[in-house]
Amino acid sequence: MNQLDQLKQSTIVVADTGDFQAIRAYAPQDATTNPSLILKAVQKDAYKPILARTVQANRGASADDIIDRLLIAFGREILDIVPGRVSTEVDARLSFDTEGSVARARKLIAMYEAEGVKRERVLIKIASTWEGIRAAEILQRDGIRCNMTLLFSLVQAAACAEARAQLISPFVGRIYDWFKKSAGANWDEAANAGANDPGVRSVAAIYRYYKHFGHDTEVMGASFRSTGQILALAGCDLLTISPDLLEQLQQAEGNAPRQLDPEAARHATIERVATDEPSFRYQLNDDAMATEKLAEGIRLFAADAAKLEGLIAALR
């Protein structure tokens, strides 16, 4: 078997794309999207008609409504391909608005259900801010499953688990990027590869924490820069992988052995992280990487949502 097939033996593989053709090519269980991926997709000739049809069918609607309709259109197409779930993101500009995030999530789920899609097949993506985690806590009680994104630290992960979020998406590659940039000329790529990669270490620590304390929240490593990072996390509950890295794994021969062991984590010595609001805010603030990457991620997703609004305005 190639490395992709071997990886699927210990980990649920998820496609990190809005490209239907790529999803079909690699037969993942689930698929994830975000504003940046949808923006990228609708600029391709194959997907421009979806944007045009959505705008045409909703000419009197607000830009927010049209974007939500577009997200649902992509989500429905994806769910015709994958057997599992699709992740659809709440507008990043609501990252510090609990009530706004809850309202938008409920709207998205209602739109899916109106299209005949059961809510169990949809994960609503919300930024892992304090306010976003509180929104997830409310939504989970309503049976709306949440995928907590823009997650860069153990305290964020612990708070998401305490809120009973369905799934978290810790960002491996962006953590790696921060430490590499911070080290500058002193960065040693070989010494920081594999299990020593700072992004890999972060996700592995979260995985061990969850298994040790018996949290049901799923861990889905995300934002990869190389197949080496992916293979170092073989055995994680899920891994969401871009089409180019899926292709590399599919073309590569060799082993992809399990690296994360839930039984070893259960017997490890691990201290519980405090997740009350003051503790959460202080620990996140004390982590320069997590603070900076969370803020940057929100800004980038918000900017891409604004660009998507611009494309919609041009078609009206």
Model pLDDT for residues 253-299, shown as the tens digit of each residue: 989 999 999 999 999 999 999 999 999 999 999 999 999 999 999 99
Range with lowest mean pLDDT among 134-148, 179-193, 301-315: 301-315
Neighbours of 134 (CB within 10 A): 18
HEC per residue, 212-261: HHCCCCEEEEECCCCHHHHHHCCCCCEEEECHHHHHHHHHCECCCCCCCC
CA–CA–CA angle 280, 283, 289 (5° rounding): 120
Q: Residue 315 falls within a domain, yes or no?
A: no
Region 169-195: what's the mean pLDDT? Answer: 98
Q: Residue 39 falls within a domain, yes or no?
A: yes
Q: Residue 167 falls within a domain, yes or no?
A: yes
Residues contacting residue 210 through CB under 8 Å, at least 6 positions apart: 157, 161, 217, 219, 265
Greatest CA separation for the chain? 59
For residue 2, what pLDDT band results from cuts at 50, 70 and 90? very high
Report d(CA 237, CA 230) in Å as an integer: 12
Picking from 238, 197, 199, the residue whose alpha carbon sits closest to that of residue 220 is: 238
Q: Residue 316 falls within a domain, yes or no?
A: no
Mind listing the pLDDT tens digit for each residue in 3-35? 999 999 999 999 999 999 999 999 999 999 888
Region 166-195: what's the mean pLDDT? Answer: 98
Domain enclosing residue 110, as ranges? 3-310
Q: Residue 61 falls within a domain, yes or no?
A: yes
Give the 3-state secondary structure of residue 33.
Answer: coil
Q: How many residues does the chain have?
A: 316
- The phi-psi region of residue 291 (left if phi > 0; otherwise alpha if psi is between -120 and 50; otherwise beta) is alpha
Q: What is the pTM of this model?
A: 0.96
The CATH number of the domain holding residue 165 is: 3.20.20.70
Give the 3-state secondary structure of residue 13.
Answer: strand
Region 150-163: what's the mean pLDDT? Answer: 98
Mind listing the pLDDT tens digit for each residue in 102-141? 999 999 999 999 999 999 999 999 999 999 999 999 999 9
Report d(CA 313, CA 54) in Å as an integer: 12
Per the annotation, the verdict on 125 as an active-site residue is yes
CA distances from 6 to 9, 31, 111, 176, 311 (A): 5, 19, 37, 25, 41
Report d(CA 53, CA 51) in Å as an integer: 6
Q: From the candidates 125, 181, 211, 307, give the one annotated as an active-site residue.
A: 125
Q: Residue 272 falls within a domain, yes or no?
A: yes
The neighbouring-strand residues paired with 122 are 86
Tokens of 118: 């059961």
What is the tally of structural domains in the chain? 1
